[in-house]
Structure 1
Amino acid sequence: MDEYEPRLDEGIEAVFPKMVQWRREFHQFPELSFHEEKTPARVAHFLKGLGMKVREGVGGRGVVAVLDGTKPGKTVALRADMDALPIQDEKSCPYRSRIPGVMHACGHDGHMATLLGLAEVLTGMREAIAGRIVFLFQHAEEVIPGGARQMIEDGALEGVDTVYGVHLWTPLPSGVVGLREGALMAAADSFHIDIIGKGGHGGLPHEAIDAVAAASHLVVNLQMIVSRQLDPLKSGVISVGRIQGGSTFNIIAEHCSLEGTVRTFDPKLRQYIQERIGEVAEQTCLMVGARCDYEYGWGYPPVINDRTEAHRMAEVARSLLGNEQVWGILPVMAGEDFAYYLQQKPGAFCLVGAGNREKGFVYPHHHPQFDFDEQAMKVAAKLLGRSSLAYLSAGCEKESAPSS
């Protein structure tokens, strides 16, 4: 499909101003996970206008559109997420969020604009498509259980042979693509521990059981699981993000609660940490005479790229950007429910650099001043488009090859 690459690239360049406009409109009117209404409606309206077969309400609030090529072949799925985060937008730009306390602080607005632009270009290139391309606009990536699993259960991947996705990523500079075969992003779990002691006077600690003191020891002891009980060659993270207990300065707290997250890549290690947290919590509380209730929330599984499809996407990226701009990166401890698609179908997920210090795009994801270099959307659209055509072309050639 090399002969179609210039046409694809020229189409993306031509539609890019509209991609910027769409992205900024999405940014001004964000919607939280599982509350997407106007966003999917607008996406579906545009895709219908392109003449695609569109299904709305997939898995609850998702949108699936199908573009049939002029020749038979395999099916590629491309995914963009639609939800925003409960963060107050602190930017001063003209397109800052107009919804108080809600913001696109992770690039999902750019993901939607990227896929809409690509859909418009590919619709005008049907003769280049040997098979079909399915566009998945997914709700609720940010909140467990996530929209991916719901859409899969509602048939979003029926007939699909492979699936690709990208994440605009400000830790990487604009113009760079980062990916790897195998584990790219971590399983993202959570835990909640309630410690029950015995309240009492702050000056008479011997008559009480201090839940805050027990919690303090527990925070330290949990870190020992990773630092002293795991194989140093295996990756794991236990982070306590919230600790809450007590009511005033001179009362020993009877209750204290902790919440945190666990990040792993290995399924056996994931299971081990889940069990070990409960054991450490119980033993720590027992040491001071307290007791605890422990709940573990299984979040998204790790994002595991298929070797063949990761290599295909890497080759496409090199042809697009040059060898030096395609980085083999280390795994990232962030989570992504794109993992569910990769559990069902071979495919690849990559990070498209969207940071730019000269333009001031330096803030991390989920930050109140998060923004990204919109030029990255062109790279993302070309990468997804070229990868899709390369896969479909390879499938067509394989099917048409004479048998020996």
Structure 2
Amino acid sequence: MEKLFAKLEELTDEIVTLRRYLHENPELSFQEVETPKFIAAYHEALGHEVRTGVGRRGVVAVLKGGKTGKTVALRADFDALPIQEENEVEYKSKVPGVMHACGHDGHTASLLGLAKALNSMKDDLEGTVVFIHQHAEEVVPGGAVAMIEDGCLDGVDVIYGTHLSSGIPVGEIAYRVGPTMAAADCFEITIEGQGGHGAQPHLTKDALVTAAQLVVNLQQIVSRRVNPLSPAVVSVGSFEAKNAFNVIADKAELKGTVRTFSEDTRDLIEKEIEAVIKATVAANGSNYQYSYTRGYPALVNHKEDTEFVAGLAKDVPGVTNVREEEPHMGGEDFAYYLQHVPGTFFFTGAEIAGREVTYPHHHPKFDIDERALIIAAKTLGAATVKYLQEQSTITAEPAALV
């Protein structure tokens, strides 16, 4: 393990350079062209088996160790967001309206650096490492499902992943057993009324007023329909009824999101939203259209694998604290991998100390402390090497006599 940590220390500058290059050259979900080429070329230069176009735009690279054993998969996403960067840094995005505002550039750089470090000790590696570089994590449907269907998990025994977090101090590793991130769904509602002049409201069926009432009424679902012991969120994020100042709207459109951990609660909310729409619209004599799209399922970490990573993380150089995290209502399509193979997804602290404001993910001023890149790589690397070593030992033990 010390050899791995030492090699990653040597690669620190290169990993930071990789991250900054990716940050300067972001690509949106399902529009990734140059990024997968860059990733594939890096692995090819290391002599890894590389497959491109996995699930459409993903890259899978395979490092076979000098000794036979189990197979560990490590995943990093590489898509960016449609956000104009407001940071004034030397590595600022060169693409107008697009930036890495969620840390995916760091995820990719850490995994590439780890791939190089593991490659340097491949003769001693007791198994195989699969590097899954995933496109389109930021949209629904994301890239994970397509990559799985295209075989990225074939032969994999366990999978690990991490997310750099701007809200967690550098040096901290946060984990959770079981439900960790929520199922993330979205809905769209169109209220169809009858427009008219603002001076004659009695001759109209005001879609805007109906929609406004609906926004308020939807809040009763979580507070009065869902078991308070089952976490849930219903949020309307978009309300549109464009008209002149003196025109009563004939149409209003709402868009929102639903976050849950329980499938029963998920089903309940989908039905209750429509029930509330029907009642609200009927009271105002209007019509409606409603669509509900299921996004990522809840991310559920496997107990044994999560406790394994949490146990070894405390001995990783640079890690100062390992703690259990509260569940997150954010979504993450790493959830799909965990539905197929055992594994865990944890958070690596990347908060920039001294900033007046800690900007959250998906903010135009989001950024990370680059020391977190090495900590993430070391933690993922330690989990990989130790798992392969332990499984090799178990396999090598003679069968018990009966």
1:394 paired with 2:395, answer no
Alignment match, 2:321 = 325
Alignment match, 2:300 = 304
Aligned equivalents of 2:390, 2:75: Cα separation in 1 = 21
Could you state the TM-score of these two structures normalised by the residue count of structure 2? Answer: 0.97
Aligned equivalents of 2:291, 2:390: Cα separation in 1 = 47
1:79 paired with 2:58, answer no
Aligned equivalents of 1:322, 1:184: Cα separation in 2 = 24
Q: Is the 8 A contact 1:361 1:371 kept in 2?
A: no
Alignment match, 1:201 = 197
Q: 1:356 to 1:323 in 2, by over 3 A?
A: closer
Alignment match, 2:34 = 38
Q: Which runs of 4+ in 1 moved over 2 A?
A: 321-324
Q: 1:324 to 1:228 in 2, by over 3 A?
A: farther
1:119 paired with 2:115, answer yes
Alignment match, 1:145 = 141
Aligned equivalents of 1:219, 1:227: Cα separation in 2 = 14
Q: What's the CA shift string for 1:359-378, capped at 9, x where partnerless?
A: 56721111111110000011
Give the Å deviation of 1:60. 0.7
Alignment match, 1:286 = 282
Give the Å deviation of 1:53. 0.4
Q: 1:54 to 1:323 in 2, by over 3 A?
A: closer
Q: How many residues align?
A: 400
Alignment of 1:45-84 (within 5 A): 45-84=41-80
1:237 paired with 2:239, answer no
Q: What's the CA shift string for 1:147-197, capped at 9, x where partnerless?
A: 111111111110101110000001111110111110111111100000011
The residue matched to 1:262 in structure 2 has which SS? Answer: strand
Q: Is the 8 A contact 1:78 1:165 kept in 2?
A: yes
1:188 paired with 2:184, answer yes
1:340 paired with 2:313, answer no
Give, as a single letter, the amino acid of the residue that structure 1 aligns with 2:255: E
Q: Is the 8 A contact 2:171 2:320 kept in 1?
A: no
Paired residue for 1:109, among 88, 105, 127? 105
Q: What's the CA shift string for 1:237-270, capped at 9, x where partnerless?
A: 0110000014112111110010001111111111
Give, as a single letter, the amino acid of the residue that structure 1 aligns with 2:144: A
Q: Is the 8 A contact 2:171 2:318 kept in 1?
A: no
Aligned equivalents of 1:323, 1:313: Cα separation in 2 = 13
Give, as a single letter, the amino acid of the residue that structure 1 aligns with 2:390: A
Paired residue for 1:14, among 1, 10, 15? 10
Alignment match, 1:385 = 381
Give the Å deviation of 1:356. 2.3
Paired residue for 2:256, among 241, 255, 260? 260
Q: What's the CA shift string for 1:75-131, capped at 9, x where partnerless?
A: 000001010000001111110000000100000000010000000000011133211
Q: Is the 8 A contact 2:319 2:375 kept in 1?
A: no
Give, as a single letter, the amino acid of the residue that structure 2 aligns with 1:15: L
Aligned equivalents of 2:43, 2:356: Cα separation in 1 = 33
Q: Is the 8 A contact 2:242 2:249 kept in 1?
A: yes
Q: Is the 8 A contact 1:194 1:255 kept in 2?
A: yes
Q: Is the 8 A contact 2:359 2:365 kept in 1?
A: yes
Give, as a single letter, the amino acid of the residue that structure 1 aligns with 2:290: Y
Give the Å deviation of 1:287. 1.0
Q: Which runs of 5+ in 1 are unaligned?
A: none
Give, as a single letter, the amino acid of the residue that structure 1 aligns with 2:37: A
Paired residue for 1:26, among 15, 22, 27? 22
The 10-residue stretch of structure 1 (360-369 or 13-22) with the greater mean CA deviation from structure 2: 360-369
Q: Is the 8 A contact 1:361 1:372 kept in 2?
A: no
Give the Å deviation of 1:323. 8.9
Alignment match, 1:403 = 399
Aligned equivalents of 2:165, 2:380: Cα separation in 1 = 15
Aligned equivalents of 2:290, 2:23: Cα separation in 1 = 38
Aligned equivalents of 1:9, 1:21: Cα separation in 2 = 19
Aligned equivalents of 2:357, 2:106: Cα separation in 1 = 14
1:88 paired with 2:95, answer no
Give the Å deviation of 1:322. 9.1
Q: Is the 8 A contact 1:163 1:348 kept in 2?
A: yes
Alignment match, 2:171 = 175
The residue matched to 2:7 in structure 1 has which SS? Answer: helix
Q: What's the CA shift string for 1:42-90, capped at 9, x where partnerless?
A: 1100100001000011111110000001111110000010100000011
Q: Is the 8 A contact 2:172 2:319 kept in 1?
A: no
Alignment match, 1:375 = 371
Alignment match, 1:164 = 160
Aligned equivalents of 1:101, 1:328: Cα separation in 2 = 36
Aligned equivalents of 2:100, 2:318: Cα separation in 1 = 31
Aligned equivalents of 2:282, 2:119: Cα separation in 1 = 65
Could you state the TM-score of these two structures normalised by the residue count of structure 1? Answer: 0.97
Aligned equivalents of 2:229, 2:346: Cα separation in 1 = 24
Identical residues among aligned pairs (%): 49
Q: Is the 8 A contact 1:187 1:302 kept in 2?
A: yes
Give, as a single letter, the amino acid of the residue that structure 2 aligns with 1:193: I
Aligned equivalents of 1:361, 1:152: Cα separation in 2 = 38
